[in-house]
Amino acid sequence: MHNAAVLIPVLFLVLAAEFVNGVTDAPNAIATVVSTRVLPPLGAVLMAAVFNLVGALATGTAVASTIGKGFVKPEVISLSVVAASMITIVLWSVVTWRLALPTSKSHELVASLTGAGLAAAGSSVLLWQGWEKVLIGLVLSTFGGFLAGIFFMIALDWILRRNSPASVRGIFSRLQIASSAFMAFSHGSNDGQKFMGVFALALLIGGATTSFHVSWWIILVCGTVMGLGTIFGGWRIMRTVGFKLTKLEPVNGFAAETAGGAAITLASSFGIPLSTTHTINTAIMGVGATRRLSAVHWEVARRVVAAWIVTFPACFALGWLLSKGLGHIM
């Protein structure tokens, strides 16, 4: 029965998932500006929280619509499906956070919601046209980030070839503040919207609204919760991304953030749910590889990529199991 007694706990689960999004995903946006010592950790985290919220507020709701009604049919799923998906995301995020591994909230959300939906309603729940955007986002985030990082870094090396290392560092110590803000903004424009879409979906399924609509207050609440997650728990992931993948100077951080932010902003404008985790991490790998392949700590990269590969089947299976169990309760 879809009433307030069921709907309200589900909405809190959505916010819990948005909080861990801030803990484990949003820190990717500012990891490089901390590792290059352009900003102290607290200043970077506060900046990320602000620009994530601004990105979520200022860029429309195309990604939220794709997540909320674009790849699963709202009319054939229940609140138990949404609850199963959100619990899956929280549990998986806690595990990967403990291991200090950045994982994709996009893939956790798509996989868990798909698994939970299939358990509840079968294959009729899926909308294949929405899955096209999901697959495009997978390719763009994984390969586009890496290639864009290489391109931006090679271009900057050529432009700055006559400048001394000291002058380059001085210039990009300032410019990297802008690029990290841009990266945080782009994260809010894409990842921030995903759970707003789920929040609006839960309201529709629960009978609180008559049509799918991402209201301004949903954007504000979810964006704020995501920012709080980054403030309270973001450092653990930030350390892996910013310090362990490769050694970064401000110009390298600028290249990676600009490349990643551009790819994410482009995807957001087309309503494509993109993994910001994949995008910025592969951009960092691409930037590091322009120096020499050994400049990238490939063992760390291997662990990160292995976590990405495991995420989809693990979250699909857990979402399916939880949906089966909750379907008998809710």
Q: Which helix (H) or strand (E) element contains residue 105?
A: helix 105-121
Q: What is the predicted pLDDT for the residue at 235? A: 67
Taking the whole predicted model, whether its pTM rises above 0.75 is answered as: yes
Q: Are 30 and 238 in contact (CB under 8 A)?
A: yes
Would you give the DSSP letter of residue 241? I
Q: Are 105 and 24 in contact (CB under 8 A)?
A: yes
Instruction: Dump the DSSP string for 173-239.
Output: HHHHHHHHHHHHHHHHHHHHHHHHHHHHHHHHHTTS-SS----HHHHHHHHHHHHHHHHHHTHHHHH
User: How far is residue 149 from each of residues 89, 183, 253, 302, 328, measured CA to CA in Å?
Assistant: 29, 13, 10, 18, 48
Structure tokens that stand for 157 in this block: 């090396």
Residue among 8, 48, 90, 1 nearest 238 (CA)? 48
Q: Where are the domains of the chain?
A: 4-327
Q: What is the predicted pLDDT for the residue at 241? A: 63
| Mean predicted lDDT score pLDDT of the chain | 83
Q: Which residue carries 């899926």 as its tokens?
A: 126
Q: How confident is the model at residue 83 (pLDDT cuts 50, 70, 90)?
A: very high
Give the pLDDT confidence of 117-173 residue by residue, as tens digits. 999 888 888 887 777 777 888 787 778 888 999 999 999 999 998 899 889 988 998
Q: What is the predicted pLDDT for the residue at 48? A: 78
Structure tokens that stand for 261 in this block: 């932010």
The answer to whether the Cα torsion of 164, 166, 170, 173 is positive or negative is: positive
Q: What is the mean pLDDT of residues 193-209?
A: 88
Chain-centre distance for alpha carbon 137: 12
Distance CA 197, CA 67 (A): 6
Distance CA 167, CA 49 (A): 30
User: How far is residue 16 from each of residues 226, 279, 301, measured CA to CA in Å?
Assistant: 9, 24, 28
Rounded to 5 degrees, φ, ψ at 73 are: -85, 115
Q: Which helix (H) or strand (E) element contains residue 82?
A: helix 79-98
Distance CA 204, CA 115 (A): 20
Q: How confident is the model at residue 106 (pLDDT cuts 50, 70, 90)?
A: confident
